[in-house]
A and B are shown apart, each in its own frame.
Chain A
Amino acid sequence: MPEISPEWTAELKKGSVQLCLLALLAKEQKYGFQIIRELRDRSDGFFDLKEGTLYPALRRLEERGFVESHWVEPESGNPRKYYRITERGRRALSEGRELWERMTAGARRVLEAAR
């Protein structure tokens, strides 16, 4: 889809990616490539971002204390860095989820009324 302005869509998407990343980590720890694939698949390709930019986003969550990470190095094969949600991250996720529900419901009512 051609964009009117990349800044405009970036602003709208901003924040939702972080929340989705956190949600993907709610049940189990995952490594970067796995998170990227799940984000793309489950969003039906909506979050089809440059993969290299997802890693700084994950680390931003880590800087906020919402996730923590550790390396897993198998005897043979590729070492992987796993991310795991923290207690603080769980609270941030449930707060974010509630905010998201209210925001989308509110926005939908406004958008529908103006159609």
Chain B
Amino acid sequence: MTSVDSYLDEVSRGLMGMDAAVRKDILRELRSHLVESVAANGGSVSAAVAATGEPRVVARRYRDLYGFGVTYRALFVAIAGVLAIFTVPVLTATDEFLFPLYLSTPFLVADIAFLIWVSVAAGNRAGLAAGTAGCVGRFAALGSAFLFLSTGPLLTFEGLTLFVIVSALMVVIGWAPGRARRAWRRPSADL
């Protein structure tokens, strides 16, 4: 037995991060639909809910259409940028350090995983913005080493090359998975 409210709650969870006004309007329309449907089928909420479809599937259709709201996309970009600051081991200089190497590696892994997720879930444009923020964050980290370490960062040619490559990769990693998903996506199951 499912109630209209619990059904809508489940759809609502699937719409998390969507523009608030759009989300509210979607839920209002689905509620209106369920009321009509229950009235038309002789009062069975469970039949109405079954005919409407799996809440997760329904929510995914809306997600395909609207994606994430501006607030959430901005949040994703900010997170990717801040995480990226901690991915730069160049911040270690002799006995002074702002951020050590053994901590930067897990941050790098986390930021890359996050960028892939953003790109797939929120689209390649949001991913590109997040990846660019990541790239900028890494340059900011390097810059802060010049500012805050009396000796400046400990730079080697290999280290700097790696830094530039990984920074550029962030932009690509933010963009590519979402683009690939768009290109390869199968048509949705019933429309």
Interface residues, chain A, with chain B CB atoms under 8 Å away: 6-7, 10-11, 13-14, 17-18, 31-33, 37, 49-53, 55-57, 59-60, 63, 71, 78-81
| Min C-beta distance of A26 to chain B, whole Å | 20
Segment of B25-33, B92-100, B106-114, B134-142 in the binding face: B25-33
- Of the listed residues A33, A37, A49, A71, the one surrounded by the most CB atoms of chain B closer than 10 A to its CB is A33
Q: Is the CB of B187 within 8 A of A78?
A: no
Interface readout for B153-191 with A: 1 if CB under 8 Å, 0 if not?
000000000000000000000000000000000111111
Bound Cα distance from A49 to B190, whole angstroms:
7
> Once the chains bind, are A78 and B188 in contact (CB under 8 Å)?
no
**Number of residues in B with C-beta < 8 Å to the partner?**
30
Interface residues of B in 1-40 (CB under 8 A from A): 11, 25-26, 28-30, 32-33, 35-37, 39-40
Please provide the 4 A-B residue pairs with the shortest distance between their CB atoms, ordered closest to farther: A50-B53, A52-B58, A56-B61, A52-B53
Query: Could you pull out 9 A-B pairs where Cβ atoms are within 8 angstroms?
Result: A6-B190, A18-B191, A33-B32, A33-B33, A50-B51, A50-B190, A53-B57, A57-B191, A81-B32
Q: How many A-B residue pairs have CB under 8 A?
A: 91
Interface residue ranges, B against A (CB under 8 Å): 11, 25-26, 28-30, 32-33, 35-37, 39-40, 51-55, 57-58, 61-62, 64-65, 186-191
Which residue of chain A has the shortest Cβ distance to B49 in the bound complex?
A: A52
B56 to chain A, nearest CB (A): 10
Assess the B57–A55 pair: CB atoms within 8 A: no
Interchain nearest-CB distance for B7 vs A (Å): 9
A35 to B35 alpha-carbon distance, docked (Å): 15
Task: Select one of A11, A33, A59, A63 contacting B36, CB under 8 A.
Answer: A33
- Not counting A6-B189, A7-B187, A10-B188, a sample of 14 additional A-B residue pairs whose C-beta atoms are within 8 angstroms of each other reads A10-B190, A31-B32, A50-B58, A51-B53, A52-B55, A52-B58, A53-B188, A55-B30, A55-B33, A57-B61, A59-B62, A63-B65, A78-B36, A80-B36
